[in-house]
């Protein structure tokens, strides 16, 4: 039997298979309010047969948006809009839904990617950004403001408030975003964190804010509610955040009851040197998994072929496989993977008649009649 299509759990959350739809920013919200675009986008993905759908990076406060078009969850209005989209999606899909809560830090206030993705100045619709230290992401950019004690308390409260809203909406799990050069990653990496207080310097100090956010979010939710985290396992820059530090962080997260760790890389520095190839991040996931006793590890990054995803699981390099751009290109990626690997997926009855004649078991027990 294909491991990719065996059930698993993230904490108490049961999944039908090990395919995770990774969070992918759509830059299509207005003032943090999720839009009809997301209803179409998430609705399509929710019919894909994957085990879990993670909603894109969702800002916990307005200043934490990557761009002015990011989704947010910081007010009654943003919560109500997200609730409406979820209600429509769930009318036709029982796929578990998680959400990635995020703060972009110094990488906030940027143009959307198709307009260049560069830092926006306040006069052009941008805003002042925050970080661990007053070090800009790009050498020519305006430096961020280093968070003081009050700012750190504000950010932690924002994550907690957003988590409470997500739980109130019935979202099944939360992924905290500590990857891709955003705020929590900025505190972790010595390249962006040059503080001299209890949040800077040693590895223990640099891990302090992400761990405090994990603890605060978990404390605000039911004890069995699954809270996971996404990290960049390496900055891909000499002297930056690296695999050895990631392993220490992962072990501490496991001890603190984290439900899963989603292993990505990069995003912190323009100086990064990433050798892009299929599965280029899998070795990070494998090393972290080997150092843990039970914490589920999600691998992600240019895993596009079902056979590759299956081999990663067979080799015990990860417990789940996240698909991102590949499922945008092929929204029925899990169907096609199941057909190749001999698996079974859930599909809406409206689509049952689409099964190829040689794949009649693809959707499990189906009864297809009609005229």
Show me where the domains of the chain are located. 3-354
CA dihedral 352, 353, 354, 359 (to 10 degrees): 80
Give catalytic status of residue 27 as yes or no: no
Report the Cα–Cα distance between both ends of the chain, in Å, rounded: 35
Please name which of 294, 340, 341, 338 lies closest in space to residue 319, comparing C-alpha atoms: 294
**pLDDT in the model for residue 370:** 52
**pLDDT in the model for residue 364:** 76
* Rounded CA separation 306/277 (Å): 16
What angle in degrees, to the nearest 10, is found between the helix axes of 208-220 and 149-168?
40
Q: Where are the alpha helices (DSSP H) in 60-207?
A: 76-90, 149-168, 183-188, 203-206
19, 300 Cβ separation under 8 angstroms: no
Q: Which residues contact 218 (CB under 8 A, 6 or more apart)?
A: 225, 227, 256, 257
156, 162 Cβ separation under 8 angstroms: no
* Rounded CA separation 170/187 (Å): 30
Q: Which residue has the tokens 């830090």?
A: 105
Q: What is the pLDDT along the chain (371 residues), one digit of tens a residue?
A: 899 999 999 999 999 999 999 999 999 999 999 999 999 999 999 999 999 999 999 999 999 999 999 999 999 999 999 999 999 999 999 999 999 999 999 999 999 999 999 999 999 999 999 999 999 999 999 999 999 999 999 999 999 999 999 999 999 999 999 999 999 999 999 999 999 999 999 999 999 999 999 999 999 999 999 999 999 999 999 999 999 999 999 999 999 999 999 999 999 999 999 999 999 999 999 999 999 999 999 999 999 999 999 999 999 999 999 999 999 999 999 999 999 999 999 999 999 989 888 877 798 755 555 55
Query: Can you spell out the DSSP letters for 28-91?
Result: --BTBB--HHHHHHHHHHTTS--SEEEEEEEESSGGG-SSTT-BB-SSHHHHHHHHHHHHHHHT
Set 27, 182, 199, 225: catalytic member: 182
**pLDDT in the model for residue 275:** 93
Q: Which residue has the tokens 């198709």?
A: 114
**pLDDT in the model for residue 359:** 78
* Rounded CA separation 101/182 (Å): 11
Q: How many residues does the chain have?
A: 371
* Rounded CA separation 108/120 (Å): 9
**pLDDT in the model for residue 45:** 98
Q: Which residue has the tokens 């693809």?
A: 362
Which tokens sit at 285? Answer: 């996931």
Q: pTM higher than 0.75 for the full model?
A: yes
Q: What values do phi and psi take at 45, rounded to 5?
A: -65, -30
CATH code of domain 3-354: 3.20.20.70
**pLDDT in the model for residue 371:** 56
What is the 8-class DSSP label of residue 110?
B
Judge residue 204's burial from the number of C-beta atoms within 10 Å of its C-beta, 0-12 exposed, 13-18 middle, 19 or more buried: exposed
């Amino acid at each position: 039997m294909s491991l990719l299509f065996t059930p698993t759990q993230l904490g108490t959350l049961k999944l039908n298979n090990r395919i995770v739809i990774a969070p992918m920013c759509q830059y299509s919200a207005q003032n943090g309010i999720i839009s009809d675009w997301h209803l179409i986008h998430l609705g399509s993905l929710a019919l894909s047969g994957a085990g879990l759908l993670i909603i894109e990076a969702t800002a916990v406060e307005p200043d934490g948006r990557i761009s002015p078009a990011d989704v947010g969850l910081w007010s009654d209005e943003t919560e109500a809009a997200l609730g409406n989209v979820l209600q429509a999606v769930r009318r036709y899909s029982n796929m578990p839904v998680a959400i990635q809560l995020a703060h972009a830090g110094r990488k906030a206030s940027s143009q959307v990617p198709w307009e260049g993705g560069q830092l926006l100045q306040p006069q052009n619709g941008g805003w002042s950004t925050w970080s661990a230290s007053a070090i800009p992401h790009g050498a020519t950019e305006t430096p961020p403001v280093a968070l003081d004690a009050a700012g750190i308390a504000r950010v932690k409260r924002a994550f907690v408030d957003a988590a409470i809203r997500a739980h109130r909406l019935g979202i099944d799990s939360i992924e905290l975003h500590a990857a891709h050069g955003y705020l929590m990653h900025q505190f972790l990496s010595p390249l962006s964190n040059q503080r001299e207080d209890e949040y800077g310097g040693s590895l223990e100090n640099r891990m302090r804010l992400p761990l405090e956010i994990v603890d605060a979010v978990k404390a605000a939710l039911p004890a069995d509610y699954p809270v996971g985290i996404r990290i960049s396992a390496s900055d891909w820059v000499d002297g930056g955040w690296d695999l050895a530090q990631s392993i220490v962080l992962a072990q501490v997260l496991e001890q603190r009851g984290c439900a899963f760790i989603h292993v990505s890389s990069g995003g912190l520095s323009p100086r990064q040197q990433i050798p892009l190839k299929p599965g280029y991040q899998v070795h990070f996931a494998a090393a972290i998994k080997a150092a843990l006793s039970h914490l589920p590890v999600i691998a992600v990054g240019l895993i596009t072929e079902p056979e590759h995803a299956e081999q990663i699981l067979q080799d015990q390099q990860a417990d789940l496989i996240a698909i991102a751009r590949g499922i945008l290109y092929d929204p029925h990626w899990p169907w096609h993977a199941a057909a190749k690997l001999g698996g079974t997926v859930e599909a809406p009855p409206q689509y049952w008649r689409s099964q190829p004649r040689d794949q009649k078991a693809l959707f499990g027990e189906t009864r297809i009649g009609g005229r």
